Amino acid sequence: MQKVQTGQVIEFYSNSCLVKTKFGKFDCVAIKNVVVGDFVEVEIIQDSKKPLGKIIKVNQRDSKISKRIKNQNKLFAANISHVGILVTQIPKTSSEFIDKWLVKANASNIKPFLINNKVDMKQEKNYLEKLDIYKNINIKIIDTSAKYDKNISELKEFLTDKCVLFVGNSGAGKSTLTSKIIGKNLKISSLSNDQGVHTTSVSSLYEIDSNIKIIDSPGMRDIAIENYSEREIINGFEEIHNASKYCKFNNCNHIDNEGCNITKKLLNDEINESRYNNFIKFLNIK
């Protein structure tokens, strides 16, 4: 067995982590800023009980994502390719929640898609119209019922060769959906490294057939966007960004400036009003 191996962090605890390599899984002492999803170089140390690992390097990340904790941005996962935003009629998923995640995904180099969960329930006209907003801007939407296993196979097919993070409001079905895909009940199971249960685990990476990876992060729901720049925000509204290229003035405020192409398209119903309102709201959250 090679003394130095490349692996991926699949579980993270308060001061240690579990790294999976082609030779097996190794408990490792966590170094500063290492997170679930990181690809790392691990030095294997043989002690009297079993091999342990020492992380000596964190490899370059394709993407990284953080959440706001006590007024600070804390990195919690890396190398996510897609974020699945769970949308439900009950509990109601606001367009603001969806648009925040579209902004965050874009800024984090992650591709977003929507999961219309609980399709076993009757969906009202205004809810379907909300979904149409995102269909019209080419955001992929997959219909599911996690509770009744509807379209889970279609979702798994889409997730092939992807690493995904599911996000949603409390009650949207995130844990149920993840459990159905990975075949493990997250609501009752707990993590263990054969030396006891880790109650301080922050997040975990599950890998199943077809190279599907799912990162589960407890408490990952609403997010703050106070620290996003104007450029990051407008890049998260692709149709608005494209329209802004034809505004008369480079410093257009997109509200009441002469020659604003965005407000022109808004009046012509070429830009959705709720998307525009969220865009302006996000710009003013500072």
The per-residue pLDDT of the chain, averaged, comes to: 89
Phi, psi of 83, deg, nearest 5: -120, 125
Q: Say what the pLDDT of residue 75 is.
A: 87
The pairing of strands 64-69 and 141-143 is: unpaired
Q: What average pLDDT does the segment 251-272 reach? A: 96
Is 170 a residue whose pLDDT tops 80? yes
Residue 70 in this model has a pLDDT that exceeds 80 = no
Q: What does the pLDDT average to over 259-275?
A: 97
Mean pLDDT, rounded, for 235-257: 95
Output the six-digit token pair for 38. Answer: 């990181």
Q: Record the pTM.
A: 0.90
Residue 240 and residue 274: Cα distance in Å, rounded? 12
What is the dotted CATH code of the domain comprising 64-216?
3.40.50.300
User: Does residue 200 carry a pLDDT above 90?
Assistant: no
The residue-averaged pLDDT of 140-158 equals 95
**Is 177 in contact with 169 (CB distance < 8 Å)?**
no
pLDDT band at 1 (very low <50, low <70, confident <90, very high): low
The pLDDT of residue 133 is above 70: yes
C-alpha of 85 from chain center: 7
Residue 223 and residue 97: Cα distance in Å, rounded?
8
- Range 4-58 classified under CATH 2.40.50.140: yes
Residue 193 — pLDDT band, cuts 50, 70, 90?
A: very low
Residue written as token pair 């003013």: 284
Mean predicted confidence (pLDDT) in 114-131? 96
Give Cβ neighbours of residue 227 (< 8 Å, ≥ 6 apart).
Answer: 73
Q: Which of 2-16, 72-86, 190-204 has the highest mean pLDDT?
A: 72-86
Domain 230-283, what fold?
Ribonucleotide Reductase Protein R1; domain 1 (1.10.40)
Ranges of each domain in the chain: 4-58, 64-216, 230-283
Q: What residues have CB less than 8 Å from 163, skipping those under 6 apart?
A: 37, 79, 80, 81, 82, 205, 213, 214, 215
In this prediction, residue 194 has a pLDDT band, given cuts at 50, 70 and 90, of very low
pLDDT (tens digit, 9 = 90+) per residue, 215-245? 988 766 667 787 889 999 999 999 999 999 9
Q: What is the pLDDT of residue 220?
A: 66
